Amino acid sequence: MIYTYIRNLSDMNTFKPLTSSQQIPFINVGKAVEPLIDKFGRRFEYLRLSITDVCNFSCQYCLPNGYQCDTPRDFMSTGELNMIVQAFAKMGTKKVRITGGEPSLRNDLTKIIEQTARVPGIEQVAITTNGYKLEKDLQSWVDAGLTSLNVSIDSLDPRQFEQITGDGRLESILKGIDMAVELGLQVKVNAVLLKEFSDTQLSLFFDYVKTNNLTLRFIELMQTGDNEEFFNAQHVSGQSIEDKLVDLGWTKKQKAEWAGPAKVYRHDGYKGRIGLIMPYSKDFCADCNRLRISALGKLHLCLFAEKGIAVRDLVAQSIAQNDPSVLISQIQNLLGQKEATHYLDAGYTGATQHLAMLGG
């Protein structure tokens, strides 16, 4: 059976929110455990936690035909998600990014943010979103403990935005970003570089950063299992933009704690910053610091690793025992399988069919 995305998801039984009277359980985490460090000496203090693979946009580079799924949407419950965060926090994780698909399609997103922010050891709670619910729900997310926000905007031209994403809500999304900046969140705007639009968009993005205190990040298009033809036609290297930044007097910032792989540049004449995520560049994976859990309870050691490793049964066992020790032990063992690099430069895409599977 094929489960195809329907735009109005408000009646999905999977996404019943918890009531305000329900208490978020804290887990018996027992004695201290070793931090997550792989055989290459990389420390993992950042968890990307997908809570759904459903998305209501149809971006050309990700879901050009809209969301489709050939498996039931048996996404992890709030209790399962809480256990996973408790286990990772015990292993030294400090930052959790909640992703999708589009995470705001879950009616219980606010509760998930709240319970994540309350876990001892978690210092940053972020979400990555397409922004369509920002105006409506942002304040409740902040009240629940959200500290950081990433919003995907691939064009600042409303017509091109709709052409790329299949959605016409750019004005509302930009208003939501303004709200986030005013509320003091760390705000990043992500734009995938596409050859068809890059020349016309660069000047608009530079003007936007000049007056807005946020970080705009240009992301190289990545090849996945279902976009080879599109990738070959649209891929643009970020090196030309980096060269332009240097020529214009932009200077590279030192990376913040738990920062991702972006190279971030600043300029005295601009309120905002510009970042570059170039996964095809040399040594891109050298300072990898994040692991991923899918909405179906699989551990992904890399965005482009094979299939993912099922840990959901161990999550259930940990919940039953009120102790994450068995889950912690397995994750630490599995970390030994993590490779030094993703091999994207060799055309390897692993099991990643589209980026909505794991939220990028």
Structural domains counted in the chain: 1
Q: Which two tokens stand for residue 80?
A: 């399962």
Q: Can you tell me the distance from the alpha carbon of 262 to that of 247, in angstroms, rounded to the nearest whole number?
A: 19
Q: What pLDDT is stored for residue 307 in this prediction? A: 67
Q: How far, in whole angstroms, is CA 50 from its chain's centroid?
A: 8
Helix, strand or coil, per DSSP, at residue 121 = coil
Question: Which string of DSSP letters, residue by residue, matches 287-352?
Answer: T--EEEE-TTSEEESSTTSSS-EE-HHHHHHHHHHT--HHHHHHHHHHGGG--S---GGGT--TT-
Q: What pLDDT is stored for residue 177 in this prediction? A: 98
pLDDT along the chain (360 residues), means of 10: 33 38 46 78 91 89 72 88 97 95 96 98 97 97 98 94 93 98 97 77 92 94 69 77 93 78 92 87 69 93 74 97 95 82 52 50
User: Do 191 and 153 contact (CB within 8 A), yes or no?
Assistant: yes
In a domain, 15, yes or no: no
pLDDT tens for 269-323 read 999 999 998 866 666 566 778 899 999 999 988 776 656 889 999 999 999 999 9
Q: What pLDDT is stored for residue 141 in this prediction? A: 98
Q: Within 29-133, where are the H helices?
A: 78-90, 109-117
- Distance between terminal CA atoms of the chain? 26
Question: Which string of DSSP letters, residue by residue, matches 189-216?
Answer: EEEEE-HHHHHHHHHHHHHHHHHS-SEE
**CATH number, domain with residue 147:** 3.20.20.70
Helix, strand or coil, per DSSP, at residue 152 = strand
In a domain, 285, yes or no: yes
In a domain, 22, yes or no: no
In a domain, 105, yes or no: yes
Q: What pLDDT is stored for residue 130 in this prediction? A: 96
User: Do 155 and 164 contact (CB within 8 A), yes or no?
Assistant: yes
Q: What pLDDT is stored for residue 97 in this prediction? A: 97
Name residue 275's beta-bridge partners: 217, 264
User: Do 194 and 321 contact (CB within 8 A), yes or no?
Assistant: no
Q: What pLDDT is stored for residue 280 in this prediction? A: 64
Q: What pLDDT is stored for residue 353 in this prediction? A: 52
In a domain, 14, yes or no: no
Structural domain boundaries, residue 280 = 37-357
In a domain, 88, yes or no: yes
Q: Which two tokens stand for residue 228?
A: 């080879």
Q: Which two tokens stand for residue 181?
A: 């900046």
Name residue 219's beta-bridge partners: 192, 277
Reported pTM: 0.84
pLDDT tens for 203-237 read 899 999 999 999 999 988 877 656 677 777 777 77
